[in-house]
Structure 1
């Protein structure tokens, strides 16, 4: 007795791959929070998280790059110790660095939009100028929300918040932008 079986695909391979990549970047984001250095100009430490935000937007595009950062925020809010210094819980999402945290999905989406020129993940080679411009725009999003959030939570003026929560980090952000360009270019060379 022969039986015929029909195969039904419940979830497409592309969706599974995108979710897996988003989860990988969310995990990488959590791991990068543990790499932190004191900043002598600010009470906020320097982490590698912004580098991961850049890379999520570049490699995953605006939709899945942003989704990976949302997944990261949800994991941290639910208690996974993935925020700076291993902190966790909803309190981090309303504390002095909350503006930075909330900015990550938006910044990853902005970087992805600029790099890929739209919502779809492109496979074209992007100029270094466009790549750097995308990361500068992403940094502007992060700093804007970070400064406003810091000023609100710490009850300080925007000027004080800017110097404490943005200007003190410009050298570190320049390094992260350079590192991201190096990673992207080395990936492009390896793919050829």
Structure 2
């Protein structure tokens, strides 16, 4: 008998959802952005990263960002300001872009830890850890190497991103917690309730 919490395979619906969140992240770049010291652009696209990881989960969230960056690599102008092409992966923002994949994965791990239903505090912790800390941890060293500025100086100047990213984390948390209540099918997974975790009862299934 199959355990109700066992990981299922990826199906056509999952592939469609991966494509949707890649598209959502691309659309969030349409308003463009502004650059910090003329080097790295600040955009709304990390909000898409946060939502992808929190809603799709670790694996599919990371896959959606991988799909987006693969399309960028082949030349589609899906990044803020209409940027695209393999050249963006050799510029100062390359680390931040690659950090989207790792960030979405970490977000999914935290938000859905223990296969529990997302709650506000864990969602916020997940999107901050994955969407900010992880992305910065990958992006800052690469930016430092490309611009040949000291790592400490690069990290300090990157703090200008922080207020905007925290606002995006709050927005992502609000969206996720609203979806949990209003449209749990968006998550397409089985959750173990707190009661089930403590009593051994059958986990609650998303309708």
TM-score by length of structure 2 reads 0.79
Secondary structure at the residue paired with 1:45? strand
Give yes or no for the alignment of 1:171 onto 2:167.
Answer: no
Within a 5 Å distance, the mapping from 1:62-81 to structure 2 comes to 62-81=58-77
Which of 91, 99, 104 pairs up with 1:95? 91
Map of 2:4 onto structure 1: none
Unaligned regions of 5+ residues in structure 1, if any?
1-11
| Deviation of 1:13 (Å) | 9.5
Q: Which residue of 2 aligns with 1:131?
A: 123
When residues 132 and 90 of structure 1 are mapped into structure 2, their CA distance, relative to the original with a 3 A threshold, is same
> Residues 97 and 150 of structure 1 are in contact (CA less than 8 Å); yes or no, is this contact kept in structure 2?
yes
Distance 2:127 2:38 in 1: 22
Counterpart position of 1:59: 55
Deviation at 1:76, TM superposition (A): 0.2
Q: CA deviation at 1:131?
A: 1.0
The CA distance in 1 between the partners of 2:37 and 2:71, in whole Å, is: 30
- After TM superposition, the runs of 4+ consecutive aligned structure 1 residues lying more than 6 A away are none
Query: Take 2:101 and 2:87, find their aligned partners in 1: how far apart are those partners?
Result: 18
Query: For 1:20, which of 16, 19, 42 is the aligned residue?
Result: 16
Q: Which of 157, 163, 177 lines up with 2:150 in the alignment?
A: 157
TM-score normalised by length of structure 1: 0.84
Q: State the alpha-carbon separation in 2 of the partners of residues 159 and 107 from structure 1.
A: 22
Counterparts of 1:146 and 1:135, CA distance in 2: 16
Q: Which residue of 1 aligns with 2:27?
A: 31
C-alpha contact 1:83 1:92 (8 A) present in aligned 2: no
SS, match of residue 80 in structure 1: coil
RMSD across aligned C-alpha pairs, in angstroms? 2.0
Rounded Cα–Cα distance in structure 2 between residues aligned with 1:172 and 1:103: 17
